[in-house]
Amino acid sequence: MSQPKTLFEKIWDDHVVYEEPGAPAILYIDLHLIHEVTSPQAFQGLREKGLRVRRPGQTLATMDHSIPTVGRDFSLMDAMAVKQVQTLEANCREFGIPLFNMFDDRQGIVHVIGPELGLTQPGMTIVCGDSHTSTHGAFGALAFGIGTSEVEHVLATQTILQRKPKTFEVRFEGTLPEGVTAKDMILALIATIGVGGGVGHVFEYTGEAVRRLNMEERLTLCNMSIEGGARAGLIAPDDTTFEYLADKPFAPKGKAWEEALERWRRLPTDPGATYDKSVTIDVSRLEPVITWGINPGMAIPITGRIPDPDKEPDPRKRRAMQRALEYMNFRPGQQLLGHPIDVVFIGSCTNARITDLRQAAQIFKGRKVAPGVRVLIVPGSQQVKRQAEAEGLDRIFKEAGAEWREPGCSMCIAMNGDRLEPGQYCVSTSNRNFEGRQGPGGRTILASPLTAAAAAVTGKITDPRTLIG
């Protein structure tokens, strides 16, 4: 009987091509996703070295970060953004890589389209020049963000040099209360361990509360692993995973499906395998969680109060809290319920899938956006947009007074003109509340789609549990 292994170790061991003492492992990459922002310098590197793309068939490109969401026209973009998307188009043509450009009806946020096409599969290694690549771990794939040099390495060799990370079990026990979501679970985790808590580690999410999540909720959970410092977050594949995958275009078919299932069922962590670190969170006591500060770890239950820096013994942490309070213009001990807000953003690779939009629509239905509040709803992909329109969700949003947009990263990263004005408060379903992330001087409060929708219709921070059921 061989040594019991974790899910991560099984995938890792299966992908090590070679490992020399003292050197990082050469890890094989099954799927490489590409977008316009972090790839141009990598393609340039290939050209300078006279290299080709080794496996165009294991590569897919899309446009998401710098494209407009009000419509699809170059006239809506600045000259640099136009050059960036045209560069991706030219690079993909030159190197034979399939691309969904911004006019393509298959286009979407890179971490939304991989799963919806069935390209993301259990046991794979997946990389992308984007830190939220951790999203794909929901399928039991080892997926992580890489820099542009590494994008070039993968293009040229389909491998990457990696030091083996440590493992970190994140166990969610109990039953999630009504109105509390996967987004609240991950924000609660990051508040518990801090934004650096997972550095050097790969999370594996376990426990009954994770098992009960649907695939889209699992994607939300894994998406923000990087905000806890972990490069990747994994969930062992189970029947939920297989049911979701079964009818997807790139899922194996017929006999190949049966063989794949057999392989995938061997992936979960063996009994007796151990993790380097672990934490347990009981979700049955969770409330909706919101952030009050300038990193995703600065989060509180929605009915809670902002912590007091004077009670923080570590002077550096105290300084960081003071800086956050100053930037957000909040006070120690303040409760955020009822705090007025200016903008609501529902979108991003964290929360722009169909189930996220259905949750938001549940709150918007029969209600109006509060006077003076701007609401952007940006679906994660063209497919999500079509599905939402087929279900009539777009009409609910538009009748409420929200803006229904074309898919893209939009106000999560504010590269495309969708951005906050200085000083504005935004309740956002995205993943980062860093200073200026949604526009210089903008103030971000991260939340679930339910909490964001509740803020949209009331004009202030509102507990969504008071508006549902």
Partner 1 sequence: MEPFVTLTSKLVPLPNENVDTDQIIPAQYLKVTDKVGLGKYLFAGWRYLPDGSPNPDFVLNRPEMQGRKVLLAGNNFGSGSSREHAVWALQGWGFRAVISTRFADIFYNNALKNGLLPVVVDEETHQRLFRWVDADPNVEITIDLPNQKLCLPDGTEVTFPIDSFSKHCLLKGLDQLGYLLEHLPRVEAYETSHPPRVDTTVLLTQVPPSPAPRS
Are 276 and 168 within 8 A, CB to CB? yes
Q: How many residues bind partner 1 (CB under 8 A)?
A: 97
Q: Which of 13, 94, 310, 389 binds partner 1 (CB under 8 A)?
A: 389
Cβ proximity to partner 1: between 217 and 227 the closer is 227
Q: Report the greatest alpha carbon distance in the chain.
A: 66
Rounded-to-integer distance, Cα 410 and Cα 109, Å: 10
Nearer to partner 1, 106 or 367 (CB): 106
Smallest separation (angstroms) from partner 1 to the CB of 81: 5
Q: Which residue has the tokens 């995973």?
A: 241
Q: What 3-state class would DSSP assign to 53? A: coil
Our CB check for partner 1 shows the closer of 7 and 124 to be 124
Closest distance of CB 159 from partner 1, Å: 6
Min dist CB 345 to partner 1, Å, is 15
Q: Is 385 in the site for partner 1 (CB under 8 A)?
A: yes
Strand boundaries in 186-325, DSSP class E: 201-206, 232-234, 277-282, 289-291, 299-301
What radius of gyration, in Å, describes the C-alpha atoms of the chain? 21
Chain residues 344-383 in contact with partner 1, contact rule CB under 8 A: 382-383
> Does 59 participate in binding partner 1 (rule CB under 8 A)?
yes
Q: Which is nearer to partner 1, 40 or 177 (CB)?
A: 40
Print burial letters for 342-355: b (CB count within 10 Å at least 16), e (below 16).
bbbbbbbbbbbbbb
Site membership for partner 1, residue 415 (CB under 8 A): yes
Binding to partner 1 by residue 106, rule CB under 8 A? yes
Does residue 423 touch partner 1 according to CB under 8 A?
no
Binders of partner 1 among 255-284, rule CB under 8 A?
A: none
Of 239-258, binders to partner 1 (CB under 8 A) are 250
Contact region with partner 1 (CB under 8 A), list: 208-216, 319-327, 331-339, 369-377: 319-327
| Minimum gap (Å) between residue 445 Cβ and partner 1 | 16
Map residue 27 onto helix, strand or coil. Answer: strand
If the CB atoms of residues 146 and 363 are measured against partner 1, the closer one turns out to be: 146
Beta bridge partners of 166: 201
Q: Which is nearer to partner 1, 146 or 235 (CB)?
A: 146
Site stretch for partner 1 (CB under 8 A), options 99-107, 172-180, 363-371, 450-458: 99-107
By CB under 8 A, the residues from 174 to 233 that bind partner 1 are: 195-196, 199-200, 226-227, 229, 231
Q: Is 309 in the site for partner 1 (CB under 8 A)?
A: no
Residue from the set 276, 421, 434, 466 that interacts with partner 1 by CB under 8 A: 434
Binder among 432, 448, 455, 467 for partner 1 (CB under 8 A) = 432
Q: Kindly identify the residues of this chain, within the stretch 32-51, that bind partner 1 according to CB under 8 A.
A: 37-38, 40-41, 44-45, 49, 51
Q: For partner 1, give the closer residue by CB, 119 or 222.
A: 119
- Is residue 295 within the footprint of partner 1 (CB under 8 A)? yes
73 binds partner 1 (CB under 8 A): no
Q: Quick one: which of 5, 9, 70, 83 contacts partner 1 (CB under 8 A)?
A: 83
Please state, in angstroms and as integers, the Cα–Cα distance from residue 88 to each residue in 82, 92, 96, 107, 435, following that order: 10, 6, 12, 14, 29
- Residues 430/337, Cβ–Cβ less than 8 Å: no
Helix (H, G, I), strand (E, B) or coil at 185: helix
Q: Considering only residues 129 through 148, tell me which ones interact with partner 1, judged by CB under 8 A.
A: 129-131, 144-148
Is 222 within 8 Å of 250 (Cβ atoms)?
A: no
3-state helix, strand, coil in the chain (%, to 5): 40, 15, 45
User: Using CB under 8 A, which of 4, 98, 338, 340 touches partner 1?
Assistant: 98
β-bridge partners, 234 = 204
Smallest distance from partner 1 to CB 75, Å: 16
312: contact with partner 1 by CB under 8 A: no
* Cβ atoms 327, 298 nearer than 8 A: no
Phi, psi of 179 (to 5 degrees): 85, 0
Give the list of residues 6+ apart from residue 89 with CB closer than 8 angstroms, or none.
99, 101
Beta-bridge partner residues of 329? none
Rounded Cα–Cα distance for residues 461 and 302 (Å): 8
User: Which residue, 220 or 462, is less far from partner 1 as judged by CB?
Assistant: 220
Indicate the burial class of 211 (C-beta count within 10 angstroms; 0-12, 13-18, 19 or more): middle
Among 111, 353, 405, 437, binds partner 1 (CB under 8 A): 437
Nearest-angstrom CA–CA distance, 152 and 47: 10
What is the Cα–Cα distance from 154 to 152, expressed in whole angstroms? 5
